[in-house]
Amino acid sequence: MKKVSLADISKELGVSKTLVSFVMNGRAKEKRINDEVAEKVLAKAKELGYKADYLARAMRTGKSQTIGLVMADISNTFFSKLARSIENEAAEHGYNVIFGSSDENHRKSGKLIDVFKDKRVDGLIICPTIGDITHIKKLNKERYPYVLVDRYFNEVSSNHVVVDNYNGSFKIVEDQIQMGRKRIAFVNFNVELINMTERFNGYIDALKSYGYKYDSSIVKNVSFKNIEKETYLAMKELMKITPKIDTIYFSNNRLAFLGIKYLFENNTINFKKLKLASFDNYEFMHLLQVPIKFGVQPIEELGKSAVDSIMKQINEESGGVEHVKLPLDISFLN
């Protein structure tokens, strides 16, 4: 079962490779090739089980029909769902996805970007981390098709698709305030990622607009690297001043998981007095015996929009820089 090439067909039929190539690429009409000839070619191709060699075509055209996906960590539920959505949407366009995880390390993401470019992906979907700004600038300069997802940088222009973190966070805090909470603690990451800072800004502004003062002693920031240890520490400190707070608001589901785990393991907490909220959700929240309010990120839309944006760029239908901001689903607040 040897590979069938264009040459095989052209030889058997006594026509040129050019003609066969045109027919196989559906350009028979455009090139005004005789219908009978075209049909003969198609029939022979089918008979021999011809399939264009992907690598040869990719090499010639420079198109690989593959998208490179750079994310923080595919094993994280948010990203794996995002990856799935991207995979589905890419498939709709006849594209495949090659992926890699950066672990929030810009050296890794830089390397992934380089490798994927080497492999000639037609476009990149990147969930950038701190320090990736250099790589983004480079992509801009090279006019390499890419779109950022979940995060972007104020300092550099980029196509990006994100969630409306500011307003989502604002509404969650507002909801808590409207339910009568007066002291809302906030557990966030200590990083300069725009999605996290926006959630913080939403938190602050919601407080302000209801006349509450921002109290830095009930805001805790933990690092990515030591997330487990530091979240525990943050919770411990918050528990010490527990009469001062009536709500804990987590800026993402991972922090919520760890924070709540801490509370359960040290179960002297009265959940009638201490309420919980989280920016986004996670399956476990549906299992808690304790009420929690949360937003739901439009992950599927996020992935779909990102692919659509990259496709527009690849097909050169893009009308300049594109920013998409999707609303947080806050139906679980009511």
120 versus 183: smaller Cβ distance to a second copy: 120
Other CB atoms within 10 Å distance of the CB of residue 60: 9
Question: Does the footprint of a second copy cover residue 140 (CB under 8 A)?
Answer: no
Question: Taking CB under 7 A as the rule, does residue 115 contact DNA?
Answer: no
Helix (H, G, I), strand (E, B), or coil: what is residue 248? strand
Residue 257 binds a second copy (CB under 8 A): yes
52 contacts DNA (rule: CB under 7 A): yes
Per CB under 7 A, does 7 bind DNA?
yes
Write the binding mask 37 to 76 for a second copy: x where contact by CB under 8 A, - elsewhere: --------------x-xxxx-xx----x-x------xxxx
Piece of 31-39, 81-89, 169-177, 225-233 that binds DNA (CB under 7 A) = 31-39
| Helices and strands counted in the chain (H then E) | 12, 11
Q: How far is the CB of 154 from a second copy (least distance, A)?
A: 27
Q: Which span (30-38, 70-78, 166-174, 203-211) binds DNA, by CB under 7 A?
A: 30-38
Q: Residues with Cβ < 8 Å from 86, sequence gap 6 or more?
A: 67, 69, 97, 125, 303, 306, 307
Does the protein bind DNA through residue 3 (CB under 7 A)? Answer: yes
46 binds DNA (CB under 7 A): no
Q: Which of 201, 159, 139 is nearest to 318 (CA)?
A: 159
Tell me which residues in 57-96 interact with DNA (CB under 7 A).
Answer: 57, 59-61
SS3 332: helix
User: What is the token pair recorded at 143?
Assistant: 């006019």
Rounded Cα distance between 279 and 301, Å, is 17
Report if residue 143 touches DNA, rule: CB under 7 A: no
Identity of residue 142:
E
Is 154 near a second copy (CB under 8 A)? no
DSSP string, 44-88: HHHHHT----HHHHHHHH---SEEEEEES-TTSHHHHHHHHHHHH
Q: How many chain residues are in contact with a second copy, going by CB under 8 A? A: 44
Query: Rule CB under 8 A: is residue 107 a binding residue for a second copy?
Result: no
In the three-class reduction of DSSP (H, G, I as helix; E, B as strand; rest coil), residue 224 is classed as coil
Site for DNA contains 179 (CB under 7 A): no
Q: Determine the Cα–Cα distance for residues 200 and 311; give it in Å rounded to an integer.
A: 33
Binding residues for a second copy, rule: CB under 8 A, are 1, 51, 53-56, 58-59, 64, 66, 73-77, 79-81, 83-84, 87, 91, 96-101, 115-116, 118-120, 142, 257, 260-261, 264, 283-284, 286-289
